[in-house]
Amino acid sequence: MTRCQDKSRLSHTTWETHTLEDGTSITLAGEVALLSRNVVVEGNTYETCCRQFGGRIVVSKRTVGDVEYVGSAQLDGVELRNMGQEGFTDLDDPRYSLAYVGLGTLDTDSSYVKRSSFNLNYNVALGLLGTSGMQVEDNVVYYALDSGVRDESGSNTYKNNLITTVLFAGTYLDRKEEENYNFNGAFQLDNAPNTVLSGNVVAGAEQAGFKTFGEPCKDETQWTNNEVHSTIYGVMVVSVDNRLGVNQIIYSPGSRSHVAHPKTANTTNSLFVGASPSHTCAFQESKSEILKFYSGKFFSGGVDGGNAGLLFGSFTSGANMAPKMGFSKAGTYPALYGSTHIESVTFSNYENSNLFRLWDILLLPLAPTLKTSEDCIPPVW
């Protein structure tokens, strides 16, 4: 991401459109957002070598005598600049730029964050801890550590937000914390059920875009038109220029419990593009510092380093312990049931290059020949 001064203008094209063989059109574009606001809450400014400690806002409640005081904060059109305090990870003392803590289920519009920006954050930008019913809409988060938004409550609404430049704390300021096994999402939602996600964009994160357990299949979907690009793992409908488009690992119940559940891995109405016209072999072979940090843990590619579209679902007894272990390995015994279903999916521009010895492949099992799973491949439909 290029960060411009307020009066600067974009002097070059930030997008390109390509038409695929079947007539489908895809647009590859940079994200443009305004960070400045008329109302500014600003922490201390530090030099580059010490960018770790800024301001913070905590909205919570407290009891004095027999009286309980419940806080609220309605932010609309506010810029939070140089906020958050790096190195503090305890949920009981969140050093985020803005944290709503222990407010329970909110009354309608008692607190919200709208049309605001989080401009340089030395921790998570926005945290919702023990707080439900929040409206988080039309905001921009630029430069945060581990996550842009962390929700430990659920039943909150996120619409039309942009999160960009989310860095991994384990390699922040040239550190190399080899025992740091945290793997975070720009939207950290794995403890946030019943979340509404609509029109959100993650554009650049050193780990995942959305980290979540997903939506219950029995419920009507509340996730629409979200986009992720320039991350290691993301949740998105269109997959372009990715080493691996979809890696599906579905776990529990454990096979040793003799309990079976007919779980499925479904991919429908999706587009996978192996290599766009602007994709180069130099880009394919390049490695950022975060990829070097996770060396040997990621999926290695189709064949000899090419791209792969979709890995068949792997149904296991438990989680695969990534990133301590490999991301695409099963890690535990297979579950008793499971099946992969693929419908109305288009794969485009998956090609082989004899010159660079890169071999793309559309569909790939976690098979013994790939040394990623050793026992079985569930049915594929």
In tens, the pLDDT along 130-180 reads: 999 999 999 999 999 999 999 999 999 999 999 999 999 999 888 888 888
Backbone φ and ψ for 256, nearest 5 degrees, come out as: -75, -15
C-alpha span between 371 and 329 (Å, rounded): 8
> Taking a C-beta distance cutoff of 8 angstroms, is the pair 146, 122 a contact?
no
Amino acid at 248: Q
> Taking a C-beta distance cutoff of 8 angstroms, is the pair 297, 231 a contact?
no
Q: Output the pLDDT for position 9.
A: 57
C-alpha span between 36 and 314 (Å, rounded): 45
C-alpha span between 340 and 247 (Å, rounded): 12
- Integer distance in angstroms from the first to the last C-alpha of the chain? 40
Q: Output the pLDDT for position 324.
A: 75
Provide CB contacts within 8 A for 63, sequence distance 6+: 69
Q: Output the pLDDT for position 285.
A: 61
> Taking a C-beta distance cutoff of 8 angstroms, is the pair 114, 145 a contact?
no
Comparing C-alpha atoms, which of 105, 150, 113 is closest to residue 130? 105
Q: With a cut of 70, which residues of the chain have pLDDT below it?
A: 1-14, 46-51, 217, 234-246, 277-287, 296-306, 328, 352-358, 366-376
Q: Output the pLDDT for position 368.
A: 39
Tokens linked to 216: 């219950």
Backbone φ and ψ for 345, nearest 5 degrees, come out as: -115, 135
Q: Output the pLDDT for position 228.
A: 86
